[in-house]
Structure 1
Amino acid sequence: MAVSYACVDVDDAYLNAVPFYEKNGLRFMNAEDDDPHTRLMYYDLMNLVA
């Protein structure tokens, strides 16, 4: 089974939108990522076909 991911770089302008991304299934790439200006998030595209 192949794993496919879509990645999003959430920068300063969109940090307030992080709850929206989380609500729609995106997860943080790294739990230790605590940069106050940029967060990396991903969405597992296999969720679309499951």
Structure 2
Amino acid sequence: DTPSKDPAATSQEDLKAIDLLATERLIAVYGSKNAAPSAKTASTKWVESV
């Protein structure tokens, strides 16, 4: 743990990393970026469906 690091900045970086991973996973599933919905849309639907 580094107390000098801003927790808000860290969480923003984490969200970007998660978003990127979700996008890559969708591309893998749908076969192309064009066929895949946006990661935000998919994650929202996933959260709602749980």
Which band: TM-score by shorter chain?
under 0.3
> Please, what TM-score do these two structures have when normalized by structure 1?
0.23
- The structure with the greater share of residues assigned to strand is 1
Higher RCO (CA < 8 A, seq sep 6+): 1
Q: Rg bigger for which structure? A: 2
> Please, what TM-score do these two structures have when normalized by structure 2?
0.23
